[in-house]
Structure 1
């Protein structure tokens, strides 16, 4: 971060399904002494049912979900708290809704190959997002641009190494 940037109040851990948003987000929050919230918990039941049936969500399905997370980000930051939120936020337009110009919100992008993520998804149990939707996730993905000031980390490492890389970038003087 630049010296004139405020310490973030909220980190949004992004990436496709299976990239480790929940696992990394929970450990990152624990390491920072912050709370963790899973963006999936903000999905209305209709979205969960649709994804469970193997149907990708449309933008019309996502807008109310993203606005609910953005409202929670505002609440957390405005109350002076800190949180890590796991949310796919695959498109720039989605991240723009979540960040909505706040300098105290940062994106953490978990970057991984389709092959690595497919293998991880195949090993998951009891998750509503079936592996068959991975291709639609990668088709939708717009990697964060430099102007979004993302903290980008490769997920081809141990969980601890990934969290270490995030914390190092968070505390560095680089955006």
Structure 2
């Protein structure tokens, strides 16, 4: 790789960065593609391209470009920070796609490559959001009320709750009435 190509690639990257700041994403993509074409040893061009795709809400494309950047970065033995950035961006894309399990997975991978407070916070926030969603999915007041009514009927007949009914009643912890 000649120094001229590297310098041309860096100037293309700068043009891409300027277009990105102006939110002219198509122009930015063209510059990042040209930069990578001139110098395919710098994965920053790919991670910048992935950032543009992320902003365009093309999350699957963003993930694919980041995976390419990671693969190429490992071949070239690039700095761990660059690989961590690509892994974090994959996590961000999965979070936007509401695939929290994969987001958590990739944030964790990013942290093993290079630990940053930003990635750690994103991991914690995503884990918290996942727990909240699981909790919200578990609680179902309608099922709890139905189980309570069935339990009351059984009690009047001299029978007892089954374990599944007890579990259903637990799905409405907001309303203590179900335990009466």
User: TM-score interval w.r.t. the shorter chain?
Assistant: under 0.3
Q: What TM-score, normalized to structure 2?
A: 0.27
Q: Which has the larger radius of gyration?
A: 2
More helix by percentage: 2
